[in-house]
Amino acid sequence: AGTLGDAAAAKGRYFGTAVAANHLGEAPYASTLDAQFDSVTPENEMKWDAVEGSRDSFTFTAADQIVSHAQSKGMKVRGHTLVWHSQLPGWVGGLGATDLRAAMNNHITQVMTHYKGKIHSWDVVNEAFQDGNSGARRSSPFQDKLGDGFIEEAFRTARTVDPTAKLCYNDYNTDGQNAKSNAVYAMVKDFKQRGVPIDCVGFQSHFNSNSPVPSDYRANLQRFADLGLDVQITELDIEGSGAAQAANYTSVVNACLAVTRCTGLTVWGVTDKYSWRSSGTPLLFDGDYNKKPAYDAVLAALGGT
């Protein structure tokens, strides 16, 4: 197969990208997206501030644009993200515990209902753990007012709304074995033991010289998979260029392919031109939509030609 999506499909995986609605009108952006990828994640359009800027008033225009585009091209959609401390409108932080719990469950219910049957995996909770060696939860309105139980509650609510969507916990700096990933592992293990509905763990995989591809990446993915759920590479990008960047991408793809329950990969953007790392070149296509060595490496690792 000659495209990322087709090559990944031949290996039983999807190959996706983050997409921004306001670039879909740019011809080479859309043609590269449509030719190469078989899954999309809205980069910002499904976040709380984008869909519920004021309480109980929902706006799905930009996210709908991405979902319709994806559906018209036969691509799957990852939902990103329901409960996150960032890109959270100010009114949420102003609520007391009782109202906050109601607002969280209402947000999950309204957004998942709107997209019911159209999303293959939802990032139900995103980035709830601190960096560093504490293994502690990150401070947020949800954590501070509802306590540790907010994550479990979010997953239970999500399952009742769309029982067919895979429900994921998603985080960064959890790609190798460390205090943060150990804390997530302990939470997921507890959820599986107690029957809290969780189907997948997303590993964002934002790599750079300070945070390189970990040598135990595959082993870390495998230990989560061994808990009895899927793992997904959800926001992959790797700083650098040329052969070194290509080799890093190869190692990431090989790690996913080596783990049976690694069901797919998503890169965090189509082109370096629009990467969130404004000064970097972390993606598979350059700013002029040319394939980079990293692209050839990924395609080859997936068995494509």
Put residue 95 in one of left, alpha, beta given phi > 0 → left and psi -120 to 50 → alpha: beta
Site track 92-131 with ligand G3I (rule: CB under 6 A), x = hit: ----------------------------------------
Of 58, 60, 276, 289, the one binding ligand G3I by CB under 6 A? 276
| Residue 40 Cβ vs ligand G3I, minimum distance, rounded to whole Å | 13
User: By the 8 A CB rule, do 270 and 17 touch?
Assistant: yes
- Binding to ligand G3I (CB under 6 A) within 35-54 occurs at 43-44
Work out whether 59 is an interface residue with ligand G3I (CB under 6 A).
Answer: no
Residue 199 touches ligand G3I, criterion: CB under 6 A: no
Q: Which is nearer to ligand G3I, 155 or 172 (CB)?
A: 172
Kindly state the smallest distance separating residue 172's Cβ from ligand G3I, in Å.
Answer: 6
Q: With respect to ligand G3I, which residue has the nearer C-beta, 7 or 21?
A: 21
In the chain, the DSSP E strands lie at 14-19, 39-42, 76-83, 121-126, 166-171, 200-203, 206-207, 230-238, 262-267
* 67: region left, alpha or beta (phi > 0 left; psi from -120 to 50 alpha): alpha
Q: Is the CB of 158 or the CB of 257 nearer to ligand G3I? A: 158
- Is 232 a binding residue for ligand G3I by CB under 6 A? The answer is no
Which of 61, 87, 133, 160 touches ligand G3I by CB under 6 A?
A: 87
Which residues have CB under 8 Å from 174's CB, separation 6+?
A: 129, 180, 181, 184, 203, 204, 220
State the residue for tokens 């239970």. Answer: 156
Residue type, 299: L
Residue facing ligand G3I at closest CB distance: 276
Q: Is 60 in the site for ligand G3I (CB under 6 A)?
A: no
| C-alpha–C-alpha distance, residues 75 and 220, integer Å | 28
Rule CB under 6 A: say whether 204 interacts with ligand G3I.
yes
Q: From the CB of 188, what's the least distance to ligand G3I, in Å?
A: 19
CB of 83 to ligand G3I, least distance (A): 12
Which DSSP string do the residues of 207-225 spell out, in sequence order? E-SSSPPPTTHHHHHHHHH
Q: Does 237 bind ligand G3I (CB under 6 A)?
A: no
174 in contact with ligand G3I (CB under 6 A): no
The sign of the dihedral angle between the CA atoms of 82, 85, 88, 93 is positive
Exposure class string for 184-196: b at 16+ Cβ within 10 A, else e: bbebbeebeeeeb
Catalytic residue list contains 152:
no
* CA neighbor of 32 nearest in space, from 197, 273, 200: 273
Measured from the CB of residue 135, what is the shortest distance to ligand G3I in angstroms? 20
Of 45, 127, 153, 235, the catalytic one is 235
239 forms part of the interface with ligand G3I (CB under 6 A): no
Q: Which residues are catalytic?
A: 235
- Binding residues for ligand G3I, rule: CB under 6 A, are 43-44, 86-87, 172, 204, 235, 276
